[in-house]
Amino acid sequence: MDLDTATKANVDNLRELLRNASVIQASQYFNGQDVQVIPSPPDHKLGQVLSRYIAMVLLTSNELRIVFKVHFNPEQIRTYRQARGASADDLSDKQLIDFMKELSNQMGGRVCRIFDAHQIAIGMSVPLCTRGIYEIYADYQPKSGAITKFGDFWQLNGPFDTIYCSCFVELMGKDDFSTVKAADEVAEEGELDFL
């Protein structure tokens, strides 16, 4: 496999892996309800403001770096939570932000478990949240040593209406990630209660 073919296989596989992880985790997080991936419009690009807030995690190892983001508006999550009978205390912006930070944490955790199953150690940051407008200040230039970099956007449609996910991936070496696949994994379904 030459470098171009290997690079394309890595990029294609990592895109699919990240999209699938987001769908599976969102479905489990939202009580097993159906979640679909809808390709984002082609005019979306890295650094574009997509929503009021961004919940994100950073996944990193010697071989790669992934910034995984969930772009959301609290109103749509509030509507979903109200329909599920959430108390008024659970509907504040702060609680909704925590709810979505946990979703990004679970999505990142799924990706870490997939890599771990392939004996690739990958660390994950605590989930962070920032206002969506700060996306315009994000630095999407490859850091020193990045051989390949790519970004991706996709929409998740489900009981929460629509949320956007995005990622920025930097491959630091010529490692082959084209065979990293998700194994079937049983996970607990249902929402978490925030204390």
> In the chain, how many domains are there?
1
What is the pLDDT averaged over residues 163-171?
A: 91
Q: Find, among 177, 162, 161, the residue nearest to 39 by Cα.
A: 162
What is the pLDDT averaged over residues 168-184?
A: 83
Q: What is the pTM of this model?
A: 0.84
Q: Is residue 20 part of a domain?
A: yes
Q: Is residue 98 part of a domain?
A: yes
- Confirm if 161 and 37 have CB atoms less than 8 A apart: no
Q: Is residue 182 part of a domain?
A: no
Residue 40: pLDDT above 70? yes
What is the CATH number for 127? 3.40.1550.10
pLDDT at 86: 81
pLDDT at 134: 75
Q: Is residue 100 part of a domain?
A: yes
pLDDT at 3: 45
pLDDT at 145: 65
Q: Is residue 77 part of a domain?
A: yes
Q: Is residue 180 part of a domain?
A: no
Q: Is residue 154 part of a domain?
A: yes
Q: Which of 6-10, 35-39, 138-142 has the lowest mean pLDDT?
A: 138-142
59: which residues sit within 8 A by CB, 6+ positions away? 65, 66, 67, 68, 108, 111, 112, 122, 123, 124, 125
pLDDT at 151: 87
| Helix intervals (H) in the chain | 3-29, 74-83, 93-117
Q: Which has more confidence, 123 or 84?
A: 123
Residue with token string 């996709």: 154
**Which domain covers residue 57, as residue numbers?**
3-171
Q: Is residue 113 part of a domain?
A: yes
pLDDT at 183: 66
